[in-house]
Chains A and B, each alone.
Chain A
Amino acid sequence: DTEVTQTPKHLVMGMTNKKSLKCEQHMGHRAMYWYKQKAKKPPELMFVYSYEKLSINESVPSRFSPECPNSSLLNLHLHALQPEDSALYLCASSLQGGHNQPQHFGDGTRLSIL
């Protein structure tokens, strides 16, 4: 069992739907991350939140909208996605600062766009 919980585990949606991915951690971590991962590829960083503020946006299209309501929760709102957005979406968290702090990942949400 991971200490970072992601829901749902699987999501199928049409291109006109609006849905949200959720991520929760109770390890007291103040940095949280969203990654997108295609099959057989490494994770690609999308967003970084530091102390509930967006600190990095890796030029992600606006159809992906992150939200950090508090230090334990991270959401990713989805709207008007494209078929190429089908992927595994991973959430991670870590202690802030220092090179020796690993990121802890959730199990991911497998997203399929019809």
Chain B
Amino acid sequence: AQKITQTQPGMFVQEKEAVTLDCTYDTSDQSYGLFWYKQPSSGEMIFLIYQGSYDEQNATEGRYSLNFQKARKSANLVISASQLGDSAMYFCAMREALDRGKTSYDKVIFGPGTSLSVIP
């Protein structure tokens, strides 16, 4: 079964500094996708960045980049130049796509999350 591990329950970072949030995963699939989501205290779940298992380049989206090390099964999120608005819960997730005949099924497995606090 697939599993996502985030070993940092809480993290603090100084404003304008960079921070790395850890994520490791376990899967026997050769093809898979990894996502990071941000959830502020208001509750909405915001998609940040995606990394495919066959992508040779690490994904980047603005201040977010993903340090993908396939052999180690890790997909760490790097946030550069932290801002106060980055304070939130961050979830690493993996999408499992299953095909059963004519129907496709999709499940997303979430890690336990990391609470990031940016200090002014």
Contacts and interface: CB of A to CB of B under 8 A. Distances in A.
Interface of A: 2, 31, 33, 40-43, 45, 48, 50-51, 53, 55-56, 88, 90, 92, 94, 96-108, 110
21 contacts: A31-B104, A43-B45, A45-B108, A48-B107, A50-B103, A50-B105, A51-B103, A55-B103, A55-B105, A88-B43, A90-B45, A94-B106, A97-B97, A98-B97, A99-B31, A99-B52, A100-B50, A103-B47, A105-B44, A105-B47, A108-B44
Given A99-B31, A103-B35, 20 more contacts: A40-B113, A42-B110, A42-B111, A43-B91, A48-B107, A50-B103, A51-B103, A55-B105, A56-B105, A56-B107, A90-B43, A97-B99, A98-B97, A99-B33, A100-B52, A103-B106, A104-B47, A107-B42, A107-B43, A110-B43
A31 to B, nearest CB: 5
Interface string B43-67: 1111100101100000000000000
A108 B42 CA distance: 9
A97 B106 contact: yes
B53 A99 contact: yes
A34 to B, nearest CB: 13
Contacts of A55: 103, 105
Nearest to A90: B45
A96 B98 CA distance: 11
Contacts of B99: 97
A48 B43 contact: no
A2 B44 contact: yes
B107 A45 contact: yes
A51 B111 CA distance: 27
Nearest to B49: A102
Contacts of B42: 107
Contacts of A94: 106
